[in-house]
Amino acid sequence: VRIEAVVDASILASGAGLFDDPPGVAASSRFFRAAGHHLLFAFDDDGHPVGFVTGVELVHPDKGVEMYLNELGVAPECRGRGVGGQLVTALMRLAKEVGCYGMWGVTEPDNAGAIATYRHAGADDESSTVLFAWHF
Ligand SMILES: CC(C)(COP(=O)(O)OP(=O)(O)OC[C@H]1O[C@@H](n2cnc3c(N)ncnc32)[C@H](O)[C@@H]1OP(=O)(O)O)[C@@H](O)C(=O)NCCC(=O)NCCS
C-alpha cells in the first residue's frame, strides 16, 4: 500500500466509509486547520483508501511533544495483510520527524487485532492505567 497524509476534504470523502461515522464538514475542516493533528490514509494499488490512522501531537511544557495515536482502522476485507502495521509505522516516522519523544495509544483488553498490531510495531505494553472519561 501507499501511505499519504490527507490534507483535504475530497480525499477524506473518498475514505469516509473507513470511519465509525461519516466525517462532517465542520468537524473535518476544523481537523485540517488544527495544529498537530495528523490523518494518514493507506491506498491500495487501485488508489482506493483501505485504512487510516489519526495522531495528535500532545505538547507538555516540561517534556516536549509526544504523539497520541488516536484512531486506527483498516477496511474489514483488507485486514491481516500488514496495512494496520504500516499505518502505525508511518505515524511513528512522522512523530519522529516532528520531534516527538514518543508515541502512545490505548485499546480495549479484548481487541486482539489492535494489541497484536501495536506490539508488532514495537510498543511496550503499559497496562497499569485506569481510564476515566467525561461525556458532554
Ligand atoms: C486493528 C486493525 C487496525 C489491524 O489492522 P490489520 O491491517 O489487520 O493489521 P496487520 O495486518 O498490520 O497486522 C499486524 C499484526 O497483528 C496481527 N493481527 C492482526 N489482526 C489480528 C487479530 N484479529 N488477532 C490476532 N492478531 C492479529 C497480525 O497477524 C500481525 O502480526 P504478525 O505480523 O506478527 O503476523 C484492524 O483489525 C481494524 O481495523 N480493527 C477494527 C478497528 C480497531 O479495532 N482499531 C483499533 C482501535 S484502537
Helices (runs of H) and strands (runs of E) counted in the chain: 4, 5
Q: Where residue 63 falls among pLDDT bands split at 50, 70, 90? A: very high
User: Using one digit for the tens of pLDDT, what is the confidence trace for 11-29?
Assistant: 999 999 999 999 999 999 9
User: Using one digit for the tens of pLDDT, what is the confidence trace for 99-136?
Assistant: 999 999 999 999 999 999 999 999 998 888 888 999 99
Q: What is the mean pLDDT of the chain?
A: 96
* Whether pLDDT at 72 is above 90: yes
From the CA of 87, give the closest atom in ligand 1. Answer: 12
CA of 136 to the centre of ligand 1 (A): 31
- When pLDDT is averaged across residues 43-50 and rounded to a whole number, the result is 97
Ligand 1 pocket, CB under 6 A: 72-74, 79-85, 107, 111-114, 116-117, 120
98: Cβ–Cβ under 8 A, 6 or more apart, which residues?
36, 57, 65, 67
Look at residue 70 in the predicted model and tell me its pLDDT: 98
Evaluate whether 11 touches 28 at the Cβ level (below 8 Å): no
Q: By alpha-carbon position, which residue is closest to atom 10 of ligand 1? A: 82
CA of 83 to the centre of ligand 1 (A): 8
Q: By alpha-carbon position, which residue is closest to atom 20 of ligand 1? A: 113
pTM: predicted TM-score of the whole model, two decimal places: 0.96
* Whether pLDDT at 54 is above 90: yes
Look at residue 108 in the predicted model and tell me its pLDDT: 93
Q: CA dist 109 to 9, 68, 115, 116, 128, Å?
A: 33, 18, 8, 11, 12
